[in-house]
Amino acid sequence: MKWSGSTKYGFAVGRVRFLETTLLDRGRYDRLIQVSDLSGMRTVLTDTVYGRFLGERDAGVNLEKVFISAGSDNFSFLTEYCINPWVLNIFRLGADICNLKTVLKERVADIKPDLTRQFHQGNWNNEALSDLAEERPRAKPVQVRNVITSVLRDYEKEHDPALLDFRLDQLEQEMALELASRSPFLTGLFLLHADIENLRTFIRVRVLGKAQALLDRAFLPGGSIAVSFLASLLKENWDAVVTRFCFSLYRRLIENGAGYAVTRGSLVRMERLSREMELSYLRQTRYATFGYEPLVSYYLFRENELTNLRQIYAAKKAGMPREEQKELVAYVD
């Protein structure tokens, strides 16, 4: 991997190397899973970096507020130390697209938007999002406005809200790849992400019986696996599918993750293995002395940690057995 190597990130990388030691380890996750209730989960988190977000009013039942505060803190750390605006814009883009989905779905559902609310982390404020959702001539970026016009035209024919998600996810991937084009590291990350998401879509169609049209509609651009290749595998028996990936980077994902979906009818293991593949990719930055890459990796590792915690929290509220909770935790050493 060719790193950016900017010495301007020297202090930031030093901070990152220290904070990496505060990420939850396997033992801590085991303790979180073993506790029987939300109060026990709160107790385990008290002596971690999340302890400072815990207050008396968050006594076990309001942990989601803790996770929101920790997520905001993580993004603030990224914005404080990231000196390349184009890098930061990649991660603001995700928030922008998520916010745009919200206002767009309000429009198609005839819900009056709240013009006083504040959207955080993205570049587009409430007015800009409203302009885009309403297709106003002044709406920018024009690329986004044009996509909205197209997807709303399709929505009028089918009235399927999933169309909005699929097309905006594709748009986000296209824009992210464009922003990341100067970075081998970030380009590789988004290419990996595309392959993983497309394989998950393939499994939803193949194993869970979703409509074949989903493969085309949800397919993310920029990956190494062609949609035509995946479509051809829909007609083959499962052993043949596994054989096709036996020398692939995605062998374990198909054999173990998709195999679990075949026997259990659940994508939970595939989702965990997918995140672990991305975490393993990010682990390469341990060899980078300077540059923005270690900062980005730390930010994403912390985001993954918050995803783990949210899923454990939801599992405990739902009464999920401990063995099943273990499948929710994406972790690499």
Query: Are the C-beta atoms of residues 101 and 164 closer than 8 Å to each other?
Result: yes
Q: What per-residue confidence (pLDDT) applies to 264?
A: 86
Q: How many CA within 13 A on the CB side of residue 175?
A: 22
Residue ranges of domains in the chain, CATH in brackets: 88-180 (1.20.1690)
Q: Point out the least confidently predicted range of 18-27, 29-38, 131-140.
A: 131-140
Closest by CA to 172, choosing from 155, 156, 193, is: 193
Average pLDDT, the chain: 92
pLDDT at 134 over 60: yes
Q: Is the preceding peptide bond at 221 cis, omega within 30 degrees of 0?
A: no
Q: What SS3 state is found at 262?
A: helix
Instruction: Give pairs for 83-92: CB < 8 Å, separation 24+.
Output: 83/8, 83/9, 83/292, 84/292, 86/179, 86/182, 87/183, 87/186, 87/292, 87/296, 89/123, 89/179, 90/176, 90/179, 90/180, 90/186, 91/121, 91/296, 91/299, 92/121, 92/122, 92/123
Q: What per-residue confidence (pLDDT) applies to 116?
A: 66
Q: Could you give the angle at the alpha carbon of 174 between the alpha carbons of 139 and 304, nearest 5°?
A: 105
Q: What SS3 state is found at 112?
A: coil
Q: What per-residue confidence (pLDDT) applies to 97?
A: 95
279-296 residue pLDDT tens: 999 999 999 999 999 999
Burial group, residue 199, by CB count within 10 angstroms (0-12, 13-18, 19+): buried
Cα separation values, 172 from 20, 101, 182, 301, 333, Å? 28, 11, 17, 21, 30
